[in-house]
Amino acid sequence: MQNLKPIETEIILDEKNKQQLKLNELLIFPHGLDGLHIWEAGIILARYIVFNSQLFSNKDILEVGTGVGIGGLAALKYTECKRVDMTDYNQDVLANIKKNSEKNSISKQRYDVFYLNWFEYDKFNKKYDVIIGSDIIYSGAPLKELYLLISKSLNKGGKAYIIIPSQRFKGEVFLQLVEDYKEFSVEKIALDQTEYSLSPLKDQTQGFKTYPGLKELQFWVYIFTKI
């Protein structure tokens, strides 16, 4: 990461049950390294996982567009999933995911971290019970390739849990792909319960200053079930 100096942030997922993650991140980052920042949609995904841990029990999970690893690490630390593959396309981001996995004392037998380019979906041949992702459907993203990757990689009956915040205007484009291909059933759930929007830092004022979207945005989980 050259001269960039990440900080360690302790993100509170569920204060009542003392569930949190220690994550290296950059608060200020250059173009192309947004995967080194903790985004609000990632916090929402991680909270969805810990609040619904039974959905991930005994599952093989793929996380696409992993970023700092918050979703995959939440599944590894706070659910009884089989294993998680955490993927991204930037080598600095991948190196940071590995460091964050070590910070949270995750057994190396339960996860892998590797490069995955959505444009090369046709070369990817692994199968999963669950795919997770947050804030991956945005303007400029290769949405058709992402769709084809998810479709190819999910077992029949498998589910993709994708968090889409209100400021992302390409959700309808992705949903149209789902409609056109007719390979998935779709459920949309608003994540508007109080526990999702709580400050992720012990200093609540600083938490909302650093991650303002938790108060300013709306979030939905889209559940795509492979028919």
Model confidence at 20, pLDDT cuts 50, 70, 90, reads very high
Mean pLDDT score of the chain: 95
Q: Residue 159: is its pLDDT beyond 90?
A: yes
Three-state SS sequence of the chain: CCCCCCEEEEEEEECCCCEEEEEEECCCCCCCCHHHCCCHHHHHHHHHHHHCHHHHCCCEEEECCCCCCHHHHHHHHHCCCCEEEEEECCHHHHHHHHHHHHHCCCCHHHEEEEECCHHHHHHCCCCEEEEEEECCCCCCCCHHHHHHHHHHHEEEEEEEEEEEECCCCCHHHHHHHHHHHCCEEEEEEECCCHHHCCCCCCCHHHHHHHCCHHHHCCEEEEEEEEC
Q: Residue 88: is its pLDDT beyond 60?
A: yes
Instruction: Tell me the two tokens of residue 60.
Output: 């093989």
Q: How high is the pLDDT of residue 168?
A: 67
Mean pLDDT of 55-78: 98
Mean pLDDT of 202-213: 97
Single-letter amino acid code for the residue at 187: E
Which CATH architecture fits 37-226? 3-Layer(aba) Sandwich (3.40)
Expressed in angstroms, the distance from the first to the final Cα of the chain is 42
Q: How high is the pLDDT of residue 221?
A: 97
Q: How high is the pLDDT of residue 106?
A: 97
Contact between 97 and 120 under an 8 Å Cβ cutoff? The reply is: no
Q: How high is the pLDDT of residue 175?
A: 93
Q: What is the pLDDT of residues 175-199, one digit of tens each?
A: 999 999 999 999 999 999 999 999 9
Confidence (pTM): 0.96
Model confidence at 3, pLDDT cuts 50, 70, 90, reads low
Q: How high is the pLDDT of residue 139?
A: 83
Q: What is the pLDDT of residues 110-129, one digit of tens each?
A: 999 999 999 999 999 999 99
Q: How high is the pLDDT of residue 169?
A: 66
Among 187, 209, 188, CA closest to 199 = 209
Mean pLDDT of 35-62: 98
Per domain, the residue ranges of the chain are 37-226
